[in-house]
């Protein structure tokens, strides 16, 4: 099937332009989330990589318990990654993890705010719950953000993401349905209750869960000729899944413009091939990538170093090599590379825009891990008649605000300028020939 036919055949939901709202920043999202929780009357389903024990996380969990206390019939389910909830922060030593906090909060309030942990693989290294999209009554709140101080801009620092609201009951029902089918009484244990089983006891259930996930799809109406604005939900885990195929089809279908935003520049071969083929067709390609200091793994000079602190430099090396090999396209303006950097803040916005028709929202980092290991999803906005161009352009302008154009790969500096600890670690990876494997699981 050619890419245009594949995209035209995707099932999705008709939606009015005014039913899709774009929030401008993390602070606006935090305000909206808390207001929607407070006004919920029927159901709340929160889906995130993690709900962190900090001030912003406490604010969200307090809001959920307060909503439940006001309306006992309100159904509240929180879904987070199993492994992330049961360990501490990277580089912070041994910690009990957020699960202990969930249990303490349940004991304190005595109310049924259900929190499930989802193990997508038997080890965190090989796959996590990267599903996005929460539902409050009939509204879908779609963002790549997790729930903590920096993602919600609780204090001085923020991590920029994308924030969309869809007032579409049918889409909300479809996304809740997938969450309900995802949850399993043994494979996705409750984290708010004591005595959660060790992961080793779940291994068989996890393997069966992953096999079931590979077959799972959103339930959406079939496409019909002549449809207007639609939103298309996509689910993906493992190679060749519907989300991966759609990303590649979008890039292959591009006729005039492709825009890709990712905080971590480590494209899988399929995506790199489609980028190069788009350039060969004469398509204008724009990349929006976070500066190494805007990476959430960045460790500032003088702070204790850990191995994860080398990741921003590895991503920068990838981008430098990519830009050098395509310097002619950069010089002609056909390839635009933007480096997002608002000092003191971090960047986490992901997505694909093609021509003036398609806008893909996703938590997928468009890297080998997202394409092969994690449980991912996305919402594709198909706008064949240009009904939603103004909000689209406004969001892109916001993403470009702190992202000046790169005029040459030389602006990214040289590997020789890396801190000594980073240089030593990356050299060891290359000499041990582990670098390709490491890139596949980052």
Q: How many Å is the Cα radius of gyration of the chain? A: 21
The token pair that represents 196 in the structure block: 């959660």
- Tell me: do 206 and 268 sit in the same domain: no
**What is the SS3 assignment for 289-303?**
EECHHHCCCCCCCCC
Which of 152, 169, 130, 214 minimizes the C-alpha distance to 28?
Answer: 152
Do the domain assignments include residue 157?
yes
Q: Record the pTM.
A: 0.95
Residues 6+ apart with CB under 8 A from 172: 135, 137, 138, 139, 140, 166
Tens of each residue's pLDDT in the chain, 442 residues? 799 999 999 999 999 999 999 999 999 999 999 999 999 999 999 999 999 999 999 999 999 999 999 999 999 999 999 999 998 655 444 456 899 999 999 999 999 999 999 999 999 988 899 999 999 999 999 999 999 999 999 999 999 999 999 999 999 999 999 999 999 889 999 999 998 899 999 999 999 999 999 999 999 999 998 899 999 999 999 888 999 999 999 999 999 999 999 999 999 999 999 999 999 999 999 999 999 999 999 998 888 988 888 899 999 999 999 999 999 999 999 999 999 999 999 999 999 999 999 999 999 999 999 999 999 999 999 999 999 999 999 999 999 999 999 998 889 888 878 888 888 888 887 767 666 666 665 5
Whole-number pLDDT of residue 130: 96
CA nearest to 356, candidates 415, 425, 284, 418: 284
Q: How many CB atoms lie within 10 A of CB 283?
A: 19
Do the Cβ atoms of 67 and 74 come closer than 8 Å?
yes
Structural domain contains residue 114: yes
Task: Identify whether residues 279 and 427 lie together within a single domain.
Answer: yes
The residue whose two tokens read 């305000």 is 31
HSE, side-chain direction, 13 A CA sphere, residue 347? 29
At residue 433, φ and ψ (nearest 5 deg) are 65, 25
b/e per residue, 230-247, with b = 16+ CB within 10 A?
A: bbbbbbbbbeebbbbbbb
Residue 304 dihedral angles phi and psi, to the nearest 5°: -55, 130
Of 170, 186, 215, which residue constitutes the final position of a domain?
215
Whether residues 177 and 266 fall in one domain: no
Based on the fold, state whether residues 168 and 113 are members of the same structural domain: yes
Residues noted as catalytic: 130, 161, 348, 376
Counts of helices then strands in the chain (DSSP H, E): 15, 18
Question: Is 225 a domain residue?
Answer: no
Query: Which structural domain range is residue 40 located in?
Result: 15-215
Q: How many domains does the chain have?
A: 2
Q: Which of 284, 287, 289, 288 is nearest to 332 (CA)?
A: 284
Residue 160 shares a structural domain with residue 84? yes
| Cα distances (Å, whole numbers) of residue 20 to 233, 261, 269 | 14, 20, 33
CB 329 within 8 A of CB 355: no
What is the length of the chain?
A: 442
- Check: CB of residue 150 under 8 Å from CB of residue 194: no
Six token digits for residue 328: 């002619």
Task: Return the CATH number at 155.
Answer: 3.30.870.10
Residue 223 lies in a domain: no
Residues 284 and 181 in one domain: no
Structural contact between residues 386 and 282, judged by C-beta atoms closer than 8 angstroms = no
Residue in this structure with the two tokens 């030389």, named with its chain if needed: 410
- Domain-located, residue 221: no
Residue 358 token pair: 């398609």
The pair phi, psi for residue 78, each rounded to 5°, is: -115, 130
User: Which residues does 338 contact at the CB level (< 8 Å), separation at least 6?
Assistant: 286, 287, 288, 289, 400, 403, 404, 405, 406
Question: Does residue 261 share a domain with residue 136?
Answer: no
Give, in degrees to the nearest 5, the angle at Cα 135 between 131 and 137.
170
Distance between CA 316 and CA 269 in Å, rounded?
Answer: 17
Comparing C-alpha atoms, which of 105, 106, 110, 131 is closest to residue 183?
131
User: Are 313 and 292 contacting, i.e. CB atoms less than 8 angstroms apart?
Assistant: yes
For residues 15 and 170, give the distance between their C-alpha atoms in angstroms, rounded to a whole number: 10
Contact 150/30 with Cβ under 8 angstroms? no
Considering the domain architecture, whether residues 109 and 81 belong to the same structural domain is answered as: yes
Residue among 144, 148, 165 nearest 349 (CA): 144
DSSP H helices in 199-302: 203-215, 242-253, 269-280
Cα–Cα dist 53/341, whole Å = 27
Q: Are residues 310 and 200 in the same domain?
A: no
| Same domain? 209 vs 293 | no
Residue 2 lies in a domain: no
Judge whether 7 lies within some domain: no
What CA–CA distance (Å, rounded) separates 378 from 236?
9
d(CA 342, CA 442) in angstroms, rounded, equals 24
**Token pair recorded at residue 65:** 């318990």
DSSP at 223:
P
- Location of structure tokens 């990838």: 318
Of 187, 215, 243, the last residue of a domain is 215
């Amino acid at each position: 099937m050619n890419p245009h036919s594949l995209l035209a055949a995707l099932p999705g939901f008709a939606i009015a332009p005014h039913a899709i709202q774009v929030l401008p920043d993390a602070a606006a999202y935090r305000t909206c989330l808390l207001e929607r929780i407070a006004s919920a009357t029927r159901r709340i389903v929160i889906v995130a990589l993690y709900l962190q024990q900090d001030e912003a996380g406490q604010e969200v969990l307090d809001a959920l318990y307060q909503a439940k206390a006001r309306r006992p019939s309100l159904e509240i389910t929180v879904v987070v990654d199993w492994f992330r909830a049961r360990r501490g922060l990277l580089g912070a030593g041994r910690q009990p993890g957020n699960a202990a906090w969930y249990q303490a909060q349940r004991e304190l309030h005595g109310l049924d705010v259900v929190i499930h942990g989802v193990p997508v693989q038997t080890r965190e290294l090989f796959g996590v719950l990267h599903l996005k999209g929460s539902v409050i009554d009939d509204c879908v709140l779609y963002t790549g953000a997790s729930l903590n101080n920096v993602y919600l801009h609780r204090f001085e620092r923020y991590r920029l993401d994308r924030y969309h609201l869809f007032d579409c009951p049918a889409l909300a029902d479809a996304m809740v349905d997938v969450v309900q089918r995802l949850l399993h009484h043994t494979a996705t244990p409750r984290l708010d209750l004591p005595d959660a089983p060790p992961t080793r006891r779940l291994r068989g259930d996890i393997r069966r869960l992953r096999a079931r996930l590979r077959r799972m799809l959103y339930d959406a109406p079939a496409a019909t000729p002549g449809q207007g604005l639609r939103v298309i939900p996509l689910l993906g885990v493992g190679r060749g899944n519907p989300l991966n195929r759609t990303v590649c089809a979008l890039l292959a279908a591009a006729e005039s413009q492709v825009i890709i935003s990712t905080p971590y520049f480590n494209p899988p071969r399929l995506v790199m091939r489609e980028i190069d083929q788009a350039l060969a067709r004469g398509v204008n390609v724009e990349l929006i990538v976070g500066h190494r200091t805007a990476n959430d793994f960045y460790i500032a000079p003088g702070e204790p170093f850990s191995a994860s602190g080398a990741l921003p430099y590895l991503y920068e090396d990838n981008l430098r090599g990519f830009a050098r090999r395509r310097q002619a396209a950069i010089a002609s303006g056909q390839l635009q590379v933007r480096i997002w950097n608002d000092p003191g803040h971090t960047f986490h916005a992901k997505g694909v825009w093609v021509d003036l028709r398609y806008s893909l929202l996703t938590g997928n980092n468009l890297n080998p891990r997202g394409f092969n290991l994690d449980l991912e999803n996305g919402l594709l906005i198909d706008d064949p008649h240009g009904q939603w161009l103004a909000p689209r352009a406004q969001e892109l302008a916001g993403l470009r605000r702190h992202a000046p154009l790169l005029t040459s790969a030389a602006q990214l500096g040289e590997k020789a300028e890396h801190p000594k600890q980073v240089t030593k670690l990356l050299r060891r990876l290359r000499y041990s020939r582990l670098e390709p494997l490491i890139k596949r699981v980052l």
